[in-house]
């Protein structure tokens, strides 16, 4: 474990994986699209309503806990 990327433990940097770039991006990235998805099927982070009121979201370059109107 000490020989992965020098004297440090195994690295997660994509440039130093066994598959390299771009294979590491395709391997570890998950492509998702939410075009034309009904609002109730979206993940809580993407819904207009903030379900708990405690989640911070970046909306129009401002951090907010409010619902989107």
Domain ranges for the chain: 1-31, 38-69
Question: pTM here?
Answer: 0.48
pLDDT at res. 51 = 82
Mention every residue, 6+ apart, whose C-beta is less than 8 A from residue 53.
Answer: 65
Mention every residue, 6+ apart, whose C-beta is less than 8 A from residue 50.
Answer: 57, 65, 66, 67
Instruction: Dump pLDDT digits (tens) for 23-65.
Output: 767 777 777 889 999 989 998 888 999 888 899 999 899 999 9
Using CA atoms, how far apart are residues 5 and 27, in angstroms rounded to an integer?
20
Mean pLDDT of 2-27: 62
């Amino acid at each position: 474990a000490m020989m992965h990327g020098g004297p440090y433990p195994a690295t997660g940097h994509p440039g130093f994986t066994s598959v390299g770039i771009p294979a590491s991006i395709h391997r570890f990235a998950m492509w998702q699209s939410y075009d034309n998805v009904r609002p109730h099927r979206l993940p809580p982070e993407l819904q207009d309503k903030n379900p708990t009121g405690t989640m911070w979201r970046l909306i129009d370059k401002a951090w907010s806990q409010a619902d989107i109107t």
